A and B are shown apart, each in its own frame.
Chain A
Amino acid sequence: MLQDILSRYSRNRTCLVMILQDVQTELGYLAEESLAEIARHLSMPVAHVHSVATFYNVFSLEPRGEHLVRVCLGTACHVRQASLILDTALRELGVSDGGTTKDRKVTVQSVGCVGACAIGPVVEVDEVHHGHMTVPKMSRLLRGFVANKEVAT
């Protein structure tokens, strides 16, 4: 799979961010071996690939959960008490920000702004936006995951 991605790009160093993005999307995270392989492909030090991979928020060096729950902490969401929503998500799942549940089902991550400010507080679950979030609604949403039920808004 990694080779497929690399074969799409030239060995030009400017392709690094794009390669990392494709690997993140298609393999779910950037494993150490992937970083080393990419470095070889582009003839650059692994440390350089590492510096880019750890600079951008979109990249994860750990495998993420099956579902990605992103709690928006943008200004509009913040003034509508988004921090309480994040606290609730972390408490319900027993993880810290950016963490993944032990069963690898859910990763919770705070995010600067998802750009859906008018319906804040917003929570994005696997790229689907859930607006006007409240503390009880957040709890219900996550309990749906734990019980492996359909997610209800």
Chain B
Amino acid sequence: MTRLASVAALKERQVRVAASRPVGQQVVAVCGGTGCLATGCKDVAKALEKELGSAGLKDRVTLVVTGCHGFCEQGPIVVVRPQSTFYPRVQVKDVPEIVARTLAKGEVIERLLYVDPVSGTKIERESDIPFYKGQTRIIFESNGHLSPTSLDDYLARGGYGALAKALTTHTPEQVIDEVTRAGLRGRGGGGFSTGRKWASARSAKGEPKYVICNADEGDPGAFMDRSLLEGNPHSVIEGMLIGAYAVGSRHGYVYVRHEYPLAVENLRHALEQARAAGLLGEGILGTTFGFDIVISRGGGAFVCGESTALMASLEGKVGEPRAKYVHTVEHGLFDKPTVLNNVETWANVPAIIANGAAAYASLGTDNSKGTKIFSLVGKINNTGLVEVPMGITLREVVFGIGGGIPGGKKFKAVQTGGPSGGCLPESLLDLPVDFQRLTEAGSMMGSGGMIVMDEDTCMVDVARYFIDFLARESCGKCTPCREGLLACRDILARICEGKGKDEDLSTLDELGQWMTAASLCALGGSAANPVLSTLRYFKHEYLAHIREHRCPGGVCKELITYSIDTGKCNGCHACVKACPPDAISGALKAMHTIDAAACIKCGACLSVCKQDAVVRR
């Protein structure tokens, strides 16, 4: 690609690329996100390419392998535009029919359409599917349209227009003012005002100044940063460029998890394209502004999501956080003024500059503006990434967009905020989701994981799970976090084994208070949230384990047994064959029974039984 030597050259290029893609032109988009890759989208894309060739449609139909569409549950996803016909779970064998009927003749193939799990009806258009219909996609919209490896695709959608606008019509101070007035708050967990952070770094003394993108998305259950970086890397680069211009930085880093190899690959490719086009390097778009970005791969330590630990890791050290009274905006990476924001925050920046602060702030609540991408996962019908305005209620997300709980099960809780967050019960389903309200309810926004739990989830086990995770990931530098987590872990393990005592609950509460008050960084400071929030809303489950030696969710191994419901078993023998220790007996077509003494509680029988006859309680 030729170098874009000026803003005029960029605009000319945008117009030329857009003109080569007339409205109404047929496009077939195959989702190439990680979820769809796992279900074979690569083969589907290859088959489409071959089939389009042999049908002679290559000139008329554009095939694009896009980033993640967010509806991972339904992968591999194929969308035919402009009709917006949506085909989920497409197999290679379906491809010839899609080409021959939908792409060649514009027909809709009934049998391939999405079936709404709530109403049972078939839905043709992507935008009519409740999962998409309830969303407001601003940041995530482009993901389903552009190829992550094509700079032209990004330019065709107005890409780098916000950068051009910032460089030519805004002073750095005006950019900061715009971002501040937009009310953008960090999407990585802390929720700090992005504009204020930038202003502090701009006025801080010290050169050079650094700009960092935190792509060390460690919160288990969240993957929006992965999808943004994999699917639309240029939007993150553009956001960082605008931020660098605002704070006066020439050096940027993206710190990516090593678990995200595709994100690294796509980002690297995008950086090379941007450099070749003169969008990175010296004299960007013919101005005096220069900036470049280096990729750094993380080492797989959860604590490195914490800003000071991440900077230590970038310096080649052990990723231990330090006390926060020394601000990173003044003394950050290599002791220089540093701005660190996460992937989603950076991806919000071009939208703010392009459309203006007022448009951005028109969505959301008093204290939380714009939209937020949530990872809606767990025991829910429609799993995937959803972008919704701040202030939407949990009920709208879980039951509207998410389609409720599968298998007719009852909703029990939704966990937000990752390991630092909390579990919210059914009584709080009408809570508007924003930074303040989630914190008041004992949880937090975090990076936007929303893990739905049904009646078969044990809340004590969930608390134990998070404490286990944090105990493993605690860097060990400060005592409250290191020792507090180990103490909590032992108590919770005991309760899960049915060996808990009533006083354990007050000990947990006390430990939690201390960890919150005395830990060095946010990992320890918020580590007690999963315990405190489950104690607050699900104390009865703790008491059931302690006093009745019973696990209401049917999860804790020591407290449950597997048995076979004689009324439902048809003697099909599937469980007998699946049982690793041969603990199930019974002849074919005759009732089966489980020998409780030999049973290792592995769950194999439950997952093979088609009659729903295996009971776990």
What residues make up the interface of A, taking CB atoms closer than 8 Å to B? 13-18, 20-21, 51-52, 55-59, 73-76, 78-81, 84, 87-88, 91, 111-120, 122, 127-131, 134-136, 139
In the bound assembly, the distance between CA atoms of A111 and B472 in angstroms comes to: 11
Give chain B residues whose Cβ lies under 8 Å from the Cβ of A15.
316
- Report which of B75, B218, B462, B602 forms a contact with A113, defined as CB distance below 8 A: B218
Contact assessment for A75 and B220 in the assembled complex, using a CB-CB cutoff below 8 Å: yes
- Docked complex Cα distance between A81 and B298 (Å): 28
Q: Is the CB of B378 within 8 A of A79?
A: yes
The answer to whether A56 touches B319, judged by C-beta atoms less than 8 angstroms apart, is yes
Task: Check A79–B462 contact: CB distance below 8 A.
Answer: yes
- Shortest CB–CB separation between residue B452 and chain A, in angstroms? 8
Instruction: Return the 6 tightest CB-CB contacts between A and B, nearest first.
Output: A56-B299, A118-B72, A75-B221, A74-B220, A113-B220, A57-B300
B interface residues with partner A (beta carbon < 8 Å): 34-35, 37-39, 72-73, 75, 217-223, 226, 257-261, 296-302, 313-319, 375, 377-379, 383-385, 415, 418, 449, 451-453, 457, 462, 465-466, 469, 473, 475, 578, 580, 600, 602-604, 607-608
Please list 21 pairs of residues, one from A and one from B, whose beta carbons are closer than 8 Å in the complex, sorted by A's number: A14-B316, A16-B317, A17-B299, A18-B297, A21-B297, A56-B299, A56-B300, A58-B258, A58-B299, A75-B220, A79-B378, A79-B451, A79-B453, A79-B462, A117-B221, A118-B383, A119-B38, A131-B35, A134-B607, A135-B607, A139-B580
Cα A139 to Cα B578 with chains together (Å): 10
- Which residue of A has the minimal Cβ distance to B72? A118
Identify the closest chain A residue to B70 (Cβ).
A118
Cross-chain contact B608 with A78 (CB below 8 angstroms): no
Residues of chain A within 8 A of B415, CB atoms compared: 75
Q: List the A side residues contacting B319 at CB < 8 Å.
A: 55-56
Other contacts beyond A20-B299, A75-B415: 9, CB < 8 A: A17-B299, A55-B301, A75-B378, A79-B462, A115-B223, A117-B221, A117-B222, A118-B73, A119-B38
B318 touches A76 (CB 8 A): no
Q: Which residue on B lies nearest to A42, using beta carbons? A: B316
Contact call A58/B602, Cβ cutoff below 8 A: no
Q: Do B75 and A88 touch (CB < 8 A)?
A: no
* Shortest Cβ distance from residue B446 to the other chain A in the assembled complex, whole angstroms: 11
Q: In the complex, what's the smallest C-beta–C-beta distance from A142 to chain B, in angstroms?
A: 12
* Interchain CA distance A74-B218 in the complex, whole Å: 10
Q: Is A112 a contact of B469 with CB atoms below 8 Å? A: yes
Q: A79-B378, A136-B608 are in contact. Are A18 and B465 (CB under 8 A)?
A: no
How far is the CB of B467 from the nearest CB of chain A, in Å? 13
Contact across chains for A116 and B301 when beta carbons are under 8 A apart: no
How far does the alpha carbon of A81 sit from the alpha carbon of B453 in the complex, in Å? 12
Complex interface: chain A residues within 8 A of B607 (CB): 134-136
The listed residue (A55, A76, A113, A119) touching B378 by CB distance below 8 A is A76
B223 contacts which chain A residues (CB < 8 A)?
113, 115-118
- List the A side residues contacting B604 at CB < 8 Å: 88, 135-136, 139
- Chain B residue numbers with a CB within 8 Å of A111 are 259
- Asked whether, in the complex, the Cβ of B259 is within 8 Å of the Cβ of A136, the reply is no
Known A13-B316, A88-B602, A127-B261; contact A113-B221, beta-carbon cutoff 8 A: yes
Give the CA-CA distance A116 to B263 in the complex, in Å. Answer: 13
Max chain A Cβ within 10 angstroms of own Cβ: one of B35, B38, B226, B580? B38
Chain B residues within an 8 Å CB radius of A129: 34-35, 37-38
Enumerate chain B residues within 8 angstroms of A79, measured Cβ to Cβ: 378-379, 451-453, 457, 462
Complex: chain B residue closest to A122, CB-CB:
B38
Question: Which residue from chain B places its CB closest to the CB of A92 in the assembled complex?
Answer: B580
Given A56-B300, A57-B301, A129-B37, A116 and B261 contact (CB-CB distance below 8 Å): no
| Residues of chain A with a CB closer than 8 A to B453's CB | 79
Contact at B220–A119, with CB atoms within 8 Å?
Answer: no
Considering the chains assembled together, what is the distance between the CA atoms of A100 and B579 in angstroms? Answer: 25
Q: Which of B219, B220, B452 is the most central at the interface, judged by chain A CB atoms within 10 Å of its CB? A: B220
Give the CA-CA distance A13 to B602 in the complex, in Å. 48
Q: B452: which A residues are within 8 A, CB to CB?
A: 79
Q: Are B316 and A74 in contact (CB under 8 A)?
A: no
Kindly list chain A residues whose C-beta atoms are within 8 Å of the C-beta of B261.
Answer: 127
A39 to B322, CA, bound (A): 25
Residue contact B603 to A115, C-beta cutoff 8 Å = no
How many Å lie between the Cα of A133 and that of B302 in the bound state?
24
B414 to A: closest C-beta gap in Å: 11
Q: Check B220 against A80 for contact (C-beta < 8 Å).
A: no
A80→B38 contact, CB < 8 A: no
Tell me, in angstroms, the Cα distance from A91 to B601 when the chains sit together: 12
Collect the chain A residues with CB atoms within 8 Å of residue B75's CB. 119
Cβ–Cβ < 8 Å partners of A88 in chain B: 580, 602, 604
Asked if residues A57 and B378 are in contact (CB atoms below 8 Å), the reply is: no
